[in-house]
Amino acid sequence: MTLTFLRAYPPAQPAPGPAYWLPFRGDRMLVQQASASNFKLIEGDEEIRALLQPETVLYLGTLNGQPCMTCEVKQEVVLPADWYELTQRALFGRIDEQFVGLIGYATQMLRWQHTGRYCPVCAHQTEGIPRTWGHVCPNCGHTRYPPVTPAILVLIHDGERMLLTRKAGWDRGWYSCIAGFVEPGESLEECVQREAYEEVGLEITDITYAGSQPWPFPHQLMVGYTARYLRGELRVDQQELDDALWFTLDDLPAFPPPQSLAGYMIRTWIDAQRSHSNP
């Protein structure tokens, strides 16, 4: 079944009855155990609110007609035995994939309640703009909305090989796509070209859109591309990367899971290469 999420904006209020709850303690979300290794969203009525004792509850919208609520929970609140606290990254592959975007949305809206509280121009306390999550300063009129920061991913390929990179400190020995933030006055495609040249010294061509994904760490929108190697000698920017290598089907590294856009792009390239090798 495809899950349909319809967003709601203040001052909208949820209909009475059961709701999905997305409570957080810091960067960890409270979830309920569904099986030995998987988890599910907490569901319930006012008894959940009484258990969590939140100071503020945000109504996010409805998922298949059922309200979705998020809130922050204090450390002293005692939780049921089958509830767990997990980071968003730890939930990858352990909760229904269709909930992942909703979880990211909840974290960003909770963070916005803190970071959007005061005007960055005059430091006056802001006020909410009805029917949006925006804030306006009643003193100077400056208007702000929850930030979304565009960033690119690019998988560079050259015939039967693809280029993957690694940053210092990445766990599991992962290699992944080149990534970077879009700068002011720059298109997405220009960013792809610049990041490829700056990070690995390569010129590329045939830039092709591959997909996008909200990435709430803290508020990126990842836009993925593939590109064909054109010219240049591999030169790793040691300020940005720990390593960059060409890989073939016979020598694949560990890479991110398919729930991430980078993992999906890498897996798609691998599958296409295998289909060409075995028509």
What pLDDT digit, counting tens, does each position of 165-205 carry?
A: 999 877 778 999 999 999 999 999 999 999 999 999 999 99
Is the domain defined by 5-114 classed in CATH 3.20.20.70? no
Q: What is the pLDDT of residue 279?
A: 65
pLDDT at 201: 98
Question: Tell me, what DSSP letter sits at residue 34?
Answer: -
According to CATH, what is the number of the domain 149-277? 3.90.79.10
Contact 104, 24 (CB under 8 A): no
The structure's pTM equals 0.91
Identify whether the C-beta of residue 88 lies closer than 8 Å to the C-beta of residue 104: yes
Cα 227 from chain centroid?
A: 23
Could you identify the residue written with the tokens 């897996």?
267
CA separation for the pair 116, 132 (Å, rounded): 13
The low-confidence residues of the chain, meaning pLDDT below 70, are: 1-3, 279
Q: Where in the chain is the domain with CATH 3.90.79.10?
A: 5-114, 149-277
How far is 61 from 138, CA to CA, in rounded Å? Answer: 27
Structure tokens at 98: 């269709």
Amino acid letter for position 78:
V
Sign of CA dihedral 154, 158, 161, 164: negative
Question: Partners of 31 in the beta sheet?
Answer: 84
pLDDT at 169: 79
In this predicted structure, what is the pLDDT of residue 277? 76
At residue 168, the pLDDT reads: 84
Backbone angles phi, psi at 208, to 5 degrees: -130, 130
Phi, psi of 164 (to 5 degrees): -125, 155
Answer whether 22's CB lies under 8 Å from 41's CB: yes
